[in-house]
Structure 1
Amino acid sequence: MTANEGGRKDLRMPDEDEVFAVVENMLGANRVKVRCADGQERTARIPGRMQKRIWIREGDVVLVEPWDWQDEKADIVWRYEKADADQLREEGHIE
């Protein structure tokens, strides 16, 4: 992630099977309720590699990978910092 002369950072963008989401509710047991950019509300799982290293709170912008066998569930793969989320909003990637 490098900063360009205009203050813009190169951010991680979603792959073909990932979507942007906003954390709506903390459910406990490493689960959160997210509102995805495709209009669906899913229960997302915080994987073990992120549990103690990256703290996820309500209102955070995350990347999720929906399960292909159960569409109402997903795995969180990335969390954006507040400044990065603001940049995504300015560039029109998320609302």
Structure 2
Amino acid sequence: MSGFHKKNNEAAVDLNAVNPDGTPVARVRLPKKWNREQFALAETMLGANHIRVQCMDGVTRMGRIKGKIKKRAWIREGDTVLVIPWSFQDEKCDIIYRYLKPQTDWLRKNRYL
């Protein structure tokens, strides 16, 4: 079953699916407002899993890459990421997700960014 992904009792999902206009189907994770998540743009790599990010609320924060995505996703300058600002230090945040190029295009097309 190449091209399909199936979990336990879920229906098979075609990973190579395309929209009627020929663009690939992009599954996009949206921010959860109740969890204070927001979009941000990676600006400067600071080393030691830290990145300077420009958040959508206009604040520039120092982001820390969470251990969960540290080994899985390579984050570069210019990437769109999902962050959670710290409740006790507003100038810092945790980076929890990195959007791929098709996902970022979808977010721009649907006016989330």
Pairwise CA distance, 1:48: 1.5
TM-score (ref. length: structure 1):
0.89
TM-score (ref. length: structure 2):
0.76
1:27 is the counterpart of 2:56: no
2:73 pairs, out of 54, 59, 64, with: 54
Distance in 1 separating the partners of 2:96 and 2:71: 14
Letter in 1 for 2:81: V
1:11 is the counterpart of 2:28: yes
With over 3 angstroms needed to count, the CA separation of the structure-2 counterparts of 1:4 and 1:68, relative to structure 1, is: farther
Does the 8 Å CA contact 2:39/2:55 hold for their aligned counterparts? yes
Distance in 2 separating the partners of 1:19 and 1:28: 22
Distance in 2 separating the partners of 1:47 and 1:73: 13
User: Percent identity of the aligned residues?
Assistant: 48
Pairwise CA distance, 1:4: 7.1
Does the 8 Å CA contact 2:27/2:103 hold for their aligned counterparts? no
> Which runs of 5 or more structure 1 residues have no equivalent in the other structure?
none
Q: Which runs of 4+ in 1 moved over 4 A?
A: 1-4
Q: Does 51-60 or 4-13 show the bigger shift?
A: 4-13
Distance in 1 separating the partners of 2:72 and 2:103: 18
1:45 is the counterpart of 2:64: yes
Output one character per residue of 1:3-44: Cα deviation in whole Å (capped at 9) or x when no partner: 674445341100111000000000001000000111110000
Q: Does 53-62 or 5-14 show the bigger shift?
A: 5-14
Matched with 1:79 is 98
Pairwise CA distance, 1:49: 1.8
Distance in 2 separating the partners of 1:79 and 1:92: 18
> Which runs of 5 or more structure 2 residues have no equivalent in the other structure?
1-12
1:11 alignment partner, SS class: coil
